[in-house]
Amino acid sequence: MKKIFVLFSIAVLLFSCTKEEGRGGTSIIKGRVIVDEYSDINNQHVRSHYAVDESVYIIYGNDEYYSDRVKTDGNGYYEFKGLQKGDYKLYVYTENENGDKKPVTVQVNIESNGSEVEASYVRVKDYISKGNASVSGRLFVYDYNSDLTALKDTFYGADRYVYFAIKNNETYIDRVKTNPDGYFVFKNLLPGDYEVYAYSKTTANVGRVAIKKYFSLTVDDDIELPRLEIID
């Protein structure tokens, strides 16, 4: 009977010494978060960089909710310290083109105490509305008589609207007025294929049509377009 009691006591002691996932250990999980930026205009990839001050969450074992949270540093690194061996789930929130957020998860296993485990990179998306590119140009006007049969004058058009749009899209994104010398500029643009246009009369006298200039932008482009010419 004594032997049974001793064996039972040892089993209980061993079971009670088995620690679950969580704090109180000597292991570390560390990793890095990367942000992939996309244009919210055309879903085109803009740039990638390491996430700064991004929240990283950890779930211990089979817990239903997150157990701890840390922030990434200036180089996108994070660490969870003082962990027991076992299974862990890390996650960071990402967003889609509609602004909805969902978790991106990484599974990590610590096999033994005193370990330092490097988690896989976590990549998240961020949709942005402003970039670093710009496009500029100048509006030139051919001034005809009322029935468009004779050219009266030519000049650079001041205080006239110029429109900016995605290429072959009927809806413009922005519009600006030309300055006194006929110059216009669109700033803080994202990469993509675009068009700039102004409305012009036609010599056929069938109303106004859009005279367009097509172009493509990369991340840091600063483009000056050929002269945009219209009839008035």
Q: 178-218, pLDDT tens digit by residue? A: 999 999 999 999 999 999 999 999 876 677 899 999 999 99
Q: What is the pTM of this model?
A: 0.75
**Number of structural domains the chain divides into:** 2
Residues 56 and 121 placed together within one structural domain of the fold: yes
Last residue of a domain, one of 128, 144, 163: 128
Q: Quote the domain boundaries for residue 188.
A: 133-231
Q: Domain with 124 in it: what CATH number? A: 2.60.40.10
Name the band, by pLDDT with cuts 50, 70 and 90, for residue 5: very low
Beta strands 68-71 and 23-39, pairing class: unpaired
Instruction: Sheet containing 55-60: give its strands across.
Output: 68-71, 55-60, 86-95, 101-110
Domain boundary among 106, 128, 150: 128
- Does some domain include residue 4? no
Residue 18 confidence (pLDDT): 52
Q: pLDDT per residue over 96-138, tens digit each? A: 878 889 999 999 999 999 999 999 999 999 999 999 999 999 9
* Number of Cα atoms under 13 Å in the Cβ half of residue 78: 26
pLDDT above 80 for 66 = yes
Is pLDDT at 15 greater than 50 in this prediction?
no
Q: Which of 79, 109, 128 is the last residue of a domain?
A: 128
Q: Are residues 101 and 158 in the same domain?
A: no
Same domain? For 102 and 143 the reply is: no
Q: What is the pLDDT of residue 19?
A: 62
Q: Is residue 2 part of a domain?
A: no
pLDDT for 148:
82
State whether 28 and 119 are in the same domain: yes
Say how far apart CA 132 and CA 130 lie, in whole Å: 7
